[in-house]
A and B are shown apart, each in its own frame.
Chain A
């Protein structure tokens, strides 16, 4: 179960090399995403995570909001 974090913690983790993953549809990612984030829509996350992400670095996933 992913650990919930806030904005300040995101920035701290990214400064220490965490990977940012946006799970929204690609067109939403294209419009706006956090600096350095990669696009991995939710339905592809499980399939692509192992091949696309570095297991040695923390991963931070995010969506649009908490709804």
Chain B
């Protein structure tokens, strides 16, 4: 017999699939954008800004070689001196969330705390994707409408 000591929390925090009633509802890891631009600490800000703009984004996640999140660049940071290194320009240590957090909880938190976006990471800090507030709110609203309609329109 074997004991998976770190348990279900470890499994879910790693973004691995699960079964059950929660698994049927969208979660942070499902809605997060996996195509978010990323960059390294030692890159030049101007180079990263060009790449981010070309990709049609206004945000970039700063990672190390193991895809661990070190920081975030939003419009405000991207528009500063292009010769700065990413390490100087970024917002270090952003708040991150685990993939299994419900989308309703994420949407409510992001609206309450006025967060435009939040990196979603595994328990060891590796990037899963970037969750944007508008995507979280839209998914939460769609979920509410779906569940409201399935109740036959009961309030």
**Set B1, B14, B21, B100: member contacting A7, Cβ < 8 A:** B14
Give the number of chain B interface residues (Cβ < 8 Å).
Answer: 22
**Set B9, B16, B20: member contacting A65, Cβ < 8 A:** B9
Interface-central residue, B4, B5, B10, B16, by most chain A CB under 10 Å: B4
DSSP class of B's interface residues: helix, strand, loop or mixed?
mixed
Q: Contact between A6 and B6 (Cβ–Cβ < 8 Å)?
A: yes
B18 at the interface (CB under 8 A from A): yes
Give the number of chain A interface residues (Cβ < 8 Å).
Answer: 30
Q: Contact between B8 and A22 (Cβ–Cβ < 8 Å)?
A: yes
Which residue of chain B lies nearest to A62 when distances are taken between CB atoms in the complex? B4
Q: Contact between B8 and A3 (Cβ–Cβ < 8 Å)?
A: no
CA distance A59 to B2 in the complex (A): 6
Residues of chain A within 8 A (CB-CB) of B65 are none
B112 at the interface (CB under 8 A from A): no
**Set B2, B6, B11, B23: member contacting A66, Cβ < 8 A:** B6
Q: Contact between B1 and A33 (Cβ–Cβ < 8 Å)?
A: no
Residues of chain B within 8 A (CB-CB) of A10 are 2, 4, 11
Residues of chain B within 8 A (CB-CB) of A22 are 8
Known A-B contacts A32-B100, A64-B9; the reply to A2 vs B19 at CB < 8 A is: no
B93 at the interface (CB under 8 A from A): no
Indicate with 1 or 0, residue by residue over B123-151, a CB within 8 angstroms of chain A CB atoms: 00000000000000000000000000000
Known A-B contacts A62-B8, A64-B7; the reply to A2 vs B2 at CB < 8 A is: yes
- A-B contacts, 5 of them at CB < 8 A, read A33-B18, A58-B2, A61-B3, A64-B7, A64-B8
Residues of chain A having any CB pair with chain B under 8 Å: 2-7, 9-10, 13, 18, 22, 24, 29-37, 58-66
Please give 6 more A-B residue pairs, beta carbons under 8 A apart, in addition to A6-B4, A59-B2: A3-B1, A7-B4, A7-B16, A22-B8, A29-B20, A34-B16
